[in-house]
């Protein structure tokens, strides 16, 4: 008997039929003797439809009202799911974020969880019921206002509840069978990974892998909540995200051989970044700092940075950095505002870049990894524009239109290709 | 400057355009210097769509979950309305029943309001904002569970908030210009009534007039909240429901002549009742009491009762009563269960009846009223099956297919016909 928190995304509860299917799975799991808390997203396109309704009313809806509007979606899916489970003869009750004790700050639209007080949830499961909780939402402590958690909010709700309840595992149900060595939509030969560490998963998420949001993995790492990413469309074991590396979990005998090699978790890619190049920057101390200070103050998140060697004749250099495409306008506006002060020549904006990242443990101590990566890209005829590395990741910026080829080439070069074809079931929830 | 609670039904906020129209009206009213609290129902067919979703899941949804599901509807309409008002440059914030302090008992699906603690609403209007409140919903005090108030719930929310805030008036916006002397859909010459007392309105509501729910008028009478029933489609004055009779409000001069006559408020009709006749009841003391005890225990609401004179030869009599058609099955089942005990011969069930009621002050002291009523029905060739009277009402049961003619004949006989044609704008909200 285990205490399990399960999270189902919007694609798993897109209509009455799929809600009944999920209910059946939960009822079976409950009958097997487990205590279950279920976190659910809004049904299929509900959120998009509500956003569309708001847009018909006003181009700039107040974020507090937007949050109240959007949380209607989970209210619908959670009550329907509770009904469906009751209909199978298993007791179930649904709870809003507020009722479940998900306390957040007051930043509407992207609130952060500040506390989880799941006393009603605990009481409900102790009485033998399944507790269904609305994902993606919380309530402010002092003003009792409804908030939404933003991107990855439902996953984070699930992990936070699992932490608050001391659950044995947090199962994230999605439309793929687990974490793959690359996006299976792009690389059909991608292999499912059985285990991955929080750190590797963080690097994957930060590098563009969309299966788990960064904040959710951060939360799980902080409270050491094991995450099991699996499909709601199959009964298969998925990928376990813990602080135990795959090599250690495999045991001394099986691991022996592999311990000599770097462990590559996978290849992530990201099309959502843009590159800004500040051309002709005076090469004097403090200029780079000032540039990034200005960009950060504007609220833009900088990812990779490259500074060319200064041209001796002019005493000037170029500084390039990448950032989320969405932050492009505010960053360029902010930089143009300090052009005279900093004294640079011009700005170049490029949103046609792609980023490929190789993630795995022990990379730094294996110089052969980067050599093999660069070799694979060269053999595929792909030009490298920027490079960054961390303890367990190497990221490379290429032209966006060669990104797919780059991912496949690298995936293959590191022997990640599996034998079967990866299974993808549908869209993804939030 | 006044403090006004306004309630808009589902037909007034059926889509983005109508929400914008209502927002404009509220913004103008606010700019004119009033404090406004708005109670809003779910958009158009939202509630029906949610009920349909639940039916796809299970034939018997738990009432607690059904309540959570249905309250999503008001959450959507209230946040959209708040957005629309903000978009016009007037501050507005929306509140759920729980946030607005609407405390109810735990009878899901038809909860009763036990307390209203509108501290956040008061605070909001004191800060110069319009407060939008979800109608039809509340929260239980101890368990913090979401409840719905059932039929007439949004109207009752509005009146309860008006009472709790000490508002000057509670405006109920609907699809007709006010209370009419008869249903304008049936009697195109029906006249709008400028004023009506709570008692008369209660009799009208109890007699089938659907414009205001009985419980809402009861609440208003108890706390002496003036209700102004008016149309959201026009700017016209509607009907004021207070404890002041029309004759008194008109002042001594204008009223002089009329004070001699009974004041007829209008003609109500009801097609939703059925008649049960218990045939061959032993005419001994206590039998009638036992019959109605059984029916009441089954949860059926009895309206009119008629007992025929006993036939001396048999010592038996027939007892007929009317009740809501929906309660028919439970009442007949319950009575059949005690047939041997009571010793009656058979049950007759008739759902083809119609009820017409004449409502007005001072009827009892004017015997001419019933004479004129019965004369009008006779002249129209309409058979009377049952009669009941109260201080301010006479109700008559006829065949359902002659009900329309009956309403028009009586309306005309009491000189209620106006000159113009009544305006009806659309469907009705809840």
Q: Is residue B427 part of a domain?
A: no
Q: Which of A95, A103, A148 is nearest to A124 (CA)?
A: A95
Asked if the Cβ–Cβ distance from B68 to A53 is below 8 Å, we say no
> What number is the average pLDDT over the span A233-242?
90
* Chain A residues touching residue B83 (CB < 8 angstroms): 54, 57-58, 61-62, 65-66, 69
Q: How many Cβ atoms are within 10 Å of B296's Cβ, its own excluded?
A: 13
Q: What pLDDT does residue A429 have?
A: 34
B152 is in an annotated binding site: no
Instruction: Describe chain A by its helix, strand, coil percentages, rounded to 5.
Output: 40, 25, 35
Q: Report helix, strand or coil for A406.
A: helix
Chain A nearest CA to B44, separation (Å): 14
Name the pLDDT band for A15 (thresholds 50, 70, 90): very high
Q: How many Cβ atoms are within 10 Å of B220's Cβ, its own excluded?
A: 28
Q: What pLDDT does residue A261 have?
A: 60
Tokens 């047939």 belong to residue: B339
Q: Is the pLDDT of residue B98 over 90?
A: yes
* Chain A residues touching residue B76 (CB < 8 angstroms): 50, 53, 69, 72
Chain A nearest CA to B60, separation (Å): 8
Asked if the Cβ–Cβ distance from A69 to B87 is below 8 Å, we say no
Residue A151 CA, distance from chain mean position: 8
* Chain B residues touching residue A93 (CB < 8 angstroms): 64-65
Asked if the Cβ–Cβ distance from B87 to A57 is below 8 Å, we say yes
Chain B nearest CA to A87, separation (Å): 6
Q: What is the DSSP letter of A64?
A: H
Chain A nearest CA to B66, separation (Å): 7
Q: Is the pLDDT of residue B54 over 70?
A: yes
Chain A nearest CA to B297, separation (Å): 29
Q: Is the pLDDT of residue A52 over 50?
A: yes
Q: Is the pLDDT of residue B200 over 60?
A: yes
Q: How many Cβ atoms are within 10 Å of A237's Cβ, its own excluded?
A: 12
- pLDDT tens digits along A360-403: 877 777 778 888 898 999 999 999 888 888 888 899 999 999 99
What share of chain A in percent tops pLDDT 70? Answer: 92
Q: What is the DSSP letter of B85?
A: H
Name the pLDDT band for A289 (thresholds 50, 70, 90): confident
Identify the CATH number of the domain in which residue B135 sits: 3.40.1160.10
Closest by Cβ to B19, choosing from A20, A57, A84: A57
Q: Helix count (H) and strand count (E) of chain B?
A: 14, 20
Q: Is residue B429 part of a domain?
A: no
Closest by Cβ to B94, choosing from A65, A79, A96: A65
**Distance in angstroms (rounded) separating the CA atoms of residues B428 and A409:** 64
Q: Is the pLDDT of residue B68 over 70?
A: yes
Q: Is the pLDDT of residue B329 over 60?
A: yes
Strand partners, B7: B39, B172
Asked if the Cβ–Cβ distance from A76 to B146 is below 8 Å, we say no
Asked if the Cβ–Cβ distance from A69 to B61 is below 8 Å, we say no
Terminal CA-CA length for chain A: 29
**Distance in angstroms (rounded) separating the CA atoms of residues B417 and A166:** 73
Name the pLDDT band for B429 (thresholds 50, 70, 90): very low
Q: What pLDDT does residue B426 have?
A: 44
Residues 6+ apart with CB under 8 A from B427: B10, B11, B175
> What number is the average pLDDT over the span A253-273?
71
Q: What pLDDT does residue B402 have?
A: 94
Q: What pLDDT does residue B82 have?
A: 98
A425 is in an annotated binding site: no
Q: What is the DSSP letter of B238?
A: -
Q: How many domains does chain A have?
A: 1
Name the pLDDT band for B256 (thresholds 50, 70, 90): very low
Strand partners, B113: B104
* Chain A residues touching residue B79 (CB < 8 angstroms): 54, 65-66, 68-69, 72
Q: What pLDDT does residue A396 have?
A: 92
- pLDDT tens digits along B340-369: 999 999 999 999 999 999 998 777 777 788
Residue of B nearest to A56 (CA): B16
* Chain B residues touching residue A146 (CB < 8 angstroms): 96
Q: Is the pLDDT of residue A49 over 90?
A: yes
- pLDDT tens digits along A100-141: 999 999 999 989 999 999 999 999 999 999 999 999 999 998
Q: How many Cβ atoms are within 10 Å of B141's Cβ, its own excluded?
A: 14
Q: Which of A151, A150, A119 is nearest to A133 (CA)?
A: A119
Q: Which of B3, B22, B25 is nearest to B11 (CA)?
A: B22
A208 is in an annotated binding site: no
Q: Is residue B43 part of a domain?
A: yes
B8 is in an annotated binding site: yes
Q: Pick A426 or B211 by higher pLDDT.
A: B211
> What number is the average pLDDT over the span A77-85?
97
* Chain A residues touching residue B106 (CB < 8 angstroms): none
Q: What pLDDT does residue A86 have?
A: 97
Name the pLDDT band for A232 (thresholds 50, 70, 90): confident
Chain B nearest CA to A12, separation (Å): 15
- pLDDT tens digits along B298-316: 888 888 888 776 666 778 8
Name the pLDDT band for B389 (thresholds 50, 70, 90): confident
Name the pLDDT band for B255 (thresholds 50, 70, 90): very low
Q: Is residue B392 part of a domain?
A: no
Q: Which of A230-239, A301-310, A333-342, A409-418 has the lowest mean pLDDT?
A: A301-310
Residues 6+ apart with CB under 8 A from B146: A96, B64, B67, B68, B71, B97, B98, B137, B138, B139
What are the residue ranges of helices labelled H in B140-210? Answer: 153-165, 198-206
Closest by Cβ to A16, choosing from B57, B75, B83: B57
Q: Is residue A177 part of a domain?
A: yes
Q: Which stretch of DSSP H or E encloses residue B372?
A: helix B368-379
Asked if the Cβ–Cβ distance from A53 to B99 is below 8 Å, we say no
Average pLDDT over chain A, rounded to an integer: 89
Name the pLDDT band for A427 (thresholds 50, 70, 90): very low
Asked if the Cβ–Cβ distance from A71 to B75 is below 8 Å, we say yes
Average pLDDT over chain B, rounded to an integer: 89
Q: What string of DSSP letters covers B47-83?
A: HHHHHHHHHHH-SS--HHHHHHHHHHHHHHHHHHHHH
Is residue A125 within 8 Å of A400, Cβ to Cβ? no
B104 is in an annotated binding site: no
Is residue A81 within 8 Å of A94, Cβ to Cβ? yes
Asked if the Cβ–Cβ distance from A65 to B93 is below 8 Å, we say yes
> What number is the average pLDDT over the span B122-140?
97
* Chain B residues touching residue A144 (CB < 8 angstroms): 98-99, 120
Closest by Cβ to A76, choosing from B56, B72, B99: B72
Q: Report helix, strand or coil for A179.
A: coil
Q: Using beta carbons and an 8 Å cutoff, which residues of B are at the interface with A?
A: 16, 19-20, 50, 53-54, 56-58, 60-62, 64-66, 68-69, 71-73, 75-76, 78-80, 82-84, 86-87, 93-94, 96, 98-99, 120, 144-146
Q: What string of DSSP letters covers A200-233?
A: HHHHHHHTT--SS-HHHHHHHHHHT--EEEEESS
Q: Using beta carbons and an 8 Å cutoff, which residues of A are at the interface with B?
A: 16, 19-20, 50, 53-54, 56-58, 60-62, 64-66, 68-69, 71-73, 75-76, 78-80, 82-84, 86-87, 93-94, 96, 99, 120, 144-146
* Chain B residues touching residue A61 (CB < 8 angstroms): 83, 86
Closest by Cβ to B83, choosing from A58, A78, A80: A58
Domain that holds residue B188: 3-249
Longest distance between any two alpha carbons in chain A, whole Å: 81
Asked if the Cβ–Cβ distance from B79 to A65 is below 8 Å, we say yes
Chain B nearest CA to A159, separation (Å): 24
Q: Is residue B373 part of a domain?
A: no
B180 is in an annotated binding site: yes
* Chain A residues touching residue B97 (CB < 8 angstroms): none
Closest by Cβ to B83, choosing from A65, A71, A144: A65
B349 is in an annotated binding site: no
Asked if the Cβ–Cβ distance from B79 to A68 is below 8 Å, we say yes
Asked if the Cβ–Cβ distance from B86 to A58 is below 8 Å, we say yes
* Chain B residues touching residue A19 (CB < 8 angstroms): 57
What's the token pair of residue B128? 């110069």
Q: Is the pLDDT of residue A250 over 70?
A: no
Can you give the three-state secondary structure of A28-54, one letter per residue?
A: HHHHCCCEEEEEECCCCCHHHHHHHHH
Residues 6+ apart with CB under 8 A from A393: A203, A207, A357, A358, A359, A360, A363
The count of CB pairs under 8 A between chains A and B is 113
Q: What pLDDT does residue B55 have?
A: 94
What's the token pair of residue B172? 């109920």
Q: What pLDDT does residue A426 have?
A: 44
| Burial tier of B185 (Cβ tally within 10 Å: 0-12, 13-18, 19+) | exposed
> What number is the average pLDDT over the span B173-202?
90
Exposure string of A246-258, with b = 16+ CB inside 10 Å and e = fewer, is bbeebeeeeeeee
Q: Is residue B405 part of a domain?
A: no
ipTM, interface predicted TM-score of the complex: 0.79
Q: Is residue B345 part of a domain?
A: no
Asked if the Cβ–Cβ distance from B65 to A82 is below 8 Å, we say yes
**Distance in angstroms (rounded) separating the CA atoms of residues B105 and B148:** 10
């Amino acid at each position: 008997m285990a205490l399990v928190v399960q999270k189902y995304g919007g694609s798993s509860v897109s209509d009455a039929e799929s809600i009944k299917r999920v209910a059946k799975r939960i009822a079976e799991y409950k009958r097997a003797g487990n205590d279950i808390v279920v976190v659910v997203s809004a049904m299929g396109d509900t959120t998009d439809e509500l956003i569309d309704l708001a847009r018909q009313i006003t181009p700039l809806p107040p974020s507090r009202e937007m949050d109240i509007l959007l949380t209607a979606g989970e209210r619908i899916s959670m009550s329907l799911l509770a009904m469906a489970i009751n209909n199978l003869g298993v007791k179930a009750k649904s709870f809003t974020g507020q009722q479940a004790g998900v306390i957040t700050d007051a930043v509407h639209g992207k609130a952060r969880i500040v506390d989880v007080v799941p006393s009603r949830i605990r009481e409900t499961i102790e009485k033998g019921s399944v507790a269904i909780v609305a994902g993606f939402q919380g309530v402010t402590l002092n003003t009792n206002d409804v908030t939404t958690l933003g991107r990855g909010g439902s996953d984070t709700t699930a992990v936070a509840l699992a932490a608050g309840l001391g659950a044995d595992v947090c199962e994230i149900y999605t439309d793929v069978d687990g974490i793959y060595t690359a996006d299976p939509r792009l690389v059909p030969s991608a292999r499912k990974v059985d285990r991955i560490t929080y750190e590797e998963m963080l690097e994957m998420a930060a590098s563009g892998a969309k299966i788990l949001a960064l904040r959710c993995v951060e939360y799980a790492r902080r409270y050491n909540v094991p995450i099991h990413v699996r499909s709601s469309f199959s009964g298969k074991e998925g990928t376990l995200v813990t602080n135990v590396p795959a090599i250690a979990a495999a045991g001394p005998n099986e691991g022996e051989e592999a311990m000599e090699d770097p462990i590559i978790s996978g290849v992530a890619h990201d099309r959502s970044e843009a590159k800004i190049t500040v051309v002709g920057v005076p090469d004097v101390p403090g200029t780079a700092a000032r540039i990034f200070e200005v960009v950060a103050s504007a609220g833009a998140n900088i990812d990779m940075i490259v500074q060319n060697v200064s041209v001796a004749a002019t005493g000037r250099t170029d500084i390039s950095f990448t950032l989320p495409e969405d932050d492009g306008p505010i960053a360029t506006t902010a930089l143009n505002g300090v052009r005279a002060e900093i004294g640079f020549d011009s700005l170049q904006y490029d949103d046609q870049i792609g980023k490929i990242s190789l993630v795995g443990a022990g990379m730094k101590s294996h110089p052969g990894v980067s050599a093999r990566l660069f070799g694979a890209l060269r053999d595929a005829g792909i030009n490298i524009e920027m490079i960054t590395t961390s303890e367990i990741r190497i990221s490379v910026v290429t032209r966006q239109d060669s990104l797919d080829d780059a991912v496949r080439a690298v995936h293959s070069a590191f022997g990640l290709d599996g034998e079967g074809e990866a299974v993808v079931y549908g869209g993804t929830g939030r």
